[in-house]
Amino acid sequence: MNNANAKDVIKLKFLAVSAVLAAVTRNTTNGGHSPYQLDQLTEAERMSVITIGIEQLEVGMYVLEIAEQRAGTVHIKTRGRVTSQATIDELKRKGITRLVIETDVESNSTVSGQGLPANQYLETTVPLEDELARAEKLYHQGLKIQENLYKAIQDGTPFDDYVPKEFSTSLVGSLDRNPDALLLMTKIREKDSYLLEHSLNVGILLANFARFLELDEQEIEQLAYSGLLHDLGKIKIDDAILHKPGRLTVEEMEEMKKHVNYGVEFLHQMKIDSSLIKWVSEHHERLDGLGYPAQLTADQITRQGRMLAIVDMYDALTADRCYKPGMSSQKALQILLKDSKNKLDPSLLQQFIRCMGIYPVGSLVELSNNKVALVIKQNDKQPLKPHVRVFYSTAGNHYLTPKEVNLATDDRVKIDKAVVASDYNIDINRFFNESVLS
């Protein structure tokens, strides 16, 4: 093929791709089925652009666009080449059923120098820095929604579930783009906002756990929603009991237990889906039948209720309260393990521990060079060596100019132990605001 012919074919291909993309866009708004008319394309065009089912997608293929997906709000960020089976699995999990692919883009060529960069990889995630600002906004929006929900239950006024439900979808969207951003946000605690933050954090951690278990997108969103709603009944409990620093008396405990049914009653008024209400009603039930309010036993508790119980306990143990600092993640997970024998689902707990990792994103670690760092990203292949942001010297007890270190590639320093901010009187919120979110 001479140069002029080759250029013509490339140009035709580009026109075909543009036509296809336009057709895909039109079709998506119409419920999205067959995205374009094959018989309107030339033979060369037919060879280069096809729609395939997700089960036909293979590593190395070049994806132009999603042609069809089950209900949901998933979008691929860029077109590009599929580089791993993990990407295919993620697309499947997100409910994508058909895709438009380009069959003839060579890895070292581009089409007329415009569009379709052939060496671009299909991205379903974004860098942490890109997601942090969105996650911060979302987190504050979540706190506001929680506040409004508590106010509604306290005042006995009806509450439309549209806003919190939509919020749950956005929350999962942020986790899909980059889970580390919202996971970092769960570490910013205001001491007197426990009630609001706890439910929001449980929603985030539960959705993250559900993603780890590769549940489908719809169930992940429902679990996020159940986390947001699980403790609403607490607003009806007297503050003296709710915020009591010490152990509750038997009478106080009986009063406290009522929060589950108060919440469930409100969720019925909100006309929340009944399966979701069941999960919420189970968050204090235990496998040995010694939980509350219904003393259900193992086979009566749903998997979602068991997941909620684990995440609820984990967040309660790691949260800073006005009367005590939160525990490190390791210590909290150890306590859950000790408690798991007859109470928490042991296999789900093992999965949750794997999901959180040895040093979860957002946790603090002390390094061998007497510096404290924030874990900002896991290294999947080397869980003991995450990416961290070093920001505090324990030798001089002062803040440092933050510096990012990938412990997997820097042999000079390693993690000595997990720590919590209160060990060194570190103002973690100030650090977040000045050095992570800014």
Toward Fe ion, which CB reaches closer, 180 or 285?
Answer: 285
DSSP 352-366: HHHHH-SS-TT-EEE
**Segment near Fe ion (CB under 5 A), from 116-124, 224-232, 237-245, 359-367?**
224-232
Count of residues in contact with Fe ion, rule CB under 5 A: 1
Helix (H) or strand (E) holding 80: strand 80-81
Q: Is 64 left (phi over 0), alpha (psi -120 to 50) or beta?
A: alpha
Smallest distance, Fe ion to C-beta of residue 53, A: 44
Find where tokens 């009187």 sit.
425
Amino acid letter at 352?
F
Toward Fe ion, which CB reaches closer, 20 or 307?
Answer: 307
Smallest distance, Fe ion to C-beta of residue 167, A: 20
**Nearest CA to 122 among 89, 159, 162, 167?**
89
Binding to Fe ion by residue 345, rule CB under 5 A? Answer: no
**Segment near Fe ion (CB under 5 A), from 133-141, 228-236, 346-354, 381-389?**
228-236
**Segment near Fe ion (CB under 5 A), from 134-142, 223-231, 240-248, 316-324?**
223-231
Q: Shortest Cβ contact with Fe ion: which residue?
A: 231
Smallest distance, Fe ion to C-beta of residue 232, A: 9
**Segment near Fe ion (CB under 5 A), from 90-98, 230-238, 271-279, 415-423?**
230-238
Task: Say which residues have a Cβ less than 8 Å from residue 24's Cβ, sequence separation at least 6.
Answer: 32, 35, 36, 65, 67, 100
**Segment near Fe ion (CB under 5 A), from 183-191, 225-233, 296-304, 361-369?**
225-233
Phi, psi of 282 (to 5 degrees): -100, 5
To the nearest 10 degrees (0 to 180), the angle between helices 303-318 and 329-340 is: 140
| Residue 417 to residues 225, 336, 373, 423, Cα–Cα distance (Å) | 34, 20, 11, 12
Output the six-digit token pair for 5. 């012919």
Smallest distance, Fe ion to C-beta of residue 276, A: 15
Phi, psi of 378 (to 5 degrees): -80, 150
Binding to Fe ion by residue 45, rule CB under 5 A? Answer: no
Residues forming beta bridges with residue 102, ordered by sequence position: 49, 62
Smallest distance, Fe ion to C-beta of residue 417, A: 31
Toward Fe ion, which CB reaches closer, 231 or 315?
Answer: 231
Smallest distance, Fe ion to C-beta of residue 259, A: 6
Toward Fe ion, which CB reaches closer, 68 or 231?
Answer: 231
Smallest distance, Fe ion to C-beta of residue 284, A: 6
**Among 231, 282, 285, 345, which residue sits at the site for Fe ion (rule: CB under 5 A)?**
231
- List contacts with Fe ion (CB under 5 A): 231
